[in-house]
Homo-oligomer: A and B are copies of this chain.
Amino acid sequence: VNAGETGEFGIIGLLADLIGREMPAVKDLVLPIGDDAAAYRCRGALQLLTTDTLVQNVHFNLNHTGWRELGHKSLAVNLSDIAAMGGIPQYAVVALSLPPQTEVEDILDLYRGMLSLCREHDVHIAGGNVTAAAEVVITVTLTGYLNDKTPLARSAARPGDRIAITGFTGLAAAGLAMFNDNLKIEGESAALFRRALLQPQPRVKEGQALLRRGVMAAIDISDGLLADLQHVCGASHVGARIRAQDLPLHPFLLKHFPEKALQYALAGGEDYELLFCADAKKVAALKGELQHPVSVIGEIGLFPPGSVEVLDEEGRDLMPAFRGWEHFKSGG
């Protein structure tokens, strides 16, 4: 059986099983494998640790992505994982694999993109390494911390919770389609789709606000809304029901992709918004507090654990027509 047949999530599951069998449990490791970031105690403070990789021709195409944008994104995807725990990001280490013919000025631009986002979030690059490779591979590992609180976790959704998301989804998928299919989209729409794909804004402040307001369950939407909601339902042993008509579809998405807007919003991936579950009162308070939009799209219930239903206006289930984005199965 090979990796392509088993898929990313299948492999991660097998590895988590193996580690669980072969390693003794650790008292200080609060949230081990399977959440957005690992969490462990350091003298009372809760430390967070996360790692993510961008691979040339899998996650990005140098014909479409500038090096600054690439630097931005390679850090942003990690900031998004810390955001999904409600954490305060702190130090990054950068492992860079590059073809020897890479221009040094491009490498510096990559770092400039990272450093600009670092300054925005008060993150410091503390180290790293550089090595040769046939293709560009960038792995950023990011630490963060929480002050004496339980982190937001995938496993904390409870029946009765509202399901809410920040911002819009599907815009990165629109950007990918725009580049891959060479679509003639211009002006503000093109800029929005490009930014969503190449310069995602991690919701770090929003994650911290969720934690402050007593939210327990969150995940960042990196694999696609449905796939990530399924991760939450699986980890929390609950089911979810969402309503297609309550999804926030951006007007530019509806304008340029009228037939694919719903698919992109549900299964597009790489949105780096937050999905969270909490009672209606907390969600309402957050809607009032946050500058960034928050939409309630459904609720957690005693549906079969791990199940996700997407209802249309007539109450018909649109699943399983939609599937999340798995790295090995579809590329990207």
Q: Does A33 belong to the interface (CB within 8 Å)? A: yes
Are A40 and B126 in contact, CB atoms less than 8 angstroms apart?
A: yes
- Which of A102-110, A162-170, A200-208 interfaces with chain B? A102-110
Give the docked Cα–Cα distance between A35 and B32 (Å).
28
Are A93 and B134 in contact, CB atoms less than 8 angstroms apart?
A: no
Closest to A330 in B: B132
| Contact residues in B for A4 (Cβ distance below 8 Å) | 100-101, 132
Closest to A33 in B: B127
Q: Does A284 belong to the interface (CB within 8 Å)? A: no
Q: Does A254 belong to the interface (CB within 8 Å)? A: no
| Contact residues in B for A90 (Cβ distance below 8 Å) | 40
Are A51 and B128 in contact, CB atoms less than 8 angstroms apart?
A: yes
Flag A291-308 by CB within 8 Å of B: 1 or 0 each. Answer: 000000000000000000
Are A15 and B108 in contact, CB atoms less than 8 angstroms apart?
A: yes
Number of copies: 2
Known contacts A124-B29, A131-B58; A95/B52 CB under 8 A: yes
| Contact residues in B for A97 (Cβ distance below 8 Å) | 53, 55, 137
Task: Determine how close the nearest CB of chain B comes to the CB of A146; give it in whole angstroms.
Answer: 12
Q: Does A319 belong to the interface (CB within 8 Å)? A: no
Are B23 and A115 in contact, CB atoms less than 8 angstroms apart?
A: yes
| Contact residues in B for A129 (Cβ distance below 8 Å) | 12, 51-53
Q: Does A187 belong to the interface (CB within 8 Å)? A: no
Flag A83-122 by CB within 8 Å of B: 1 or 0 each. Answer: 0000000110111011111111101100110010011000
Q: In A21-56, which residues have CB < 8 Å from any B CB?
A: 22-23, 26, 29, 32-35, 37-38, 40, 42-45, 47, 49-53, 55
Task: Please name 5 further chain A to chain B contacts, defined as beta carbons within 8 Å, in addition to the given A11-B130, A18-B111, sorted by A numbering.
Answer: A23-B118, A50-B127, A51-B128, A55-B133, A130-B327
Closest 5 CB pairs of A and B: A4-B100, A38-B126, A141-B141, A139-B139, A38-B127
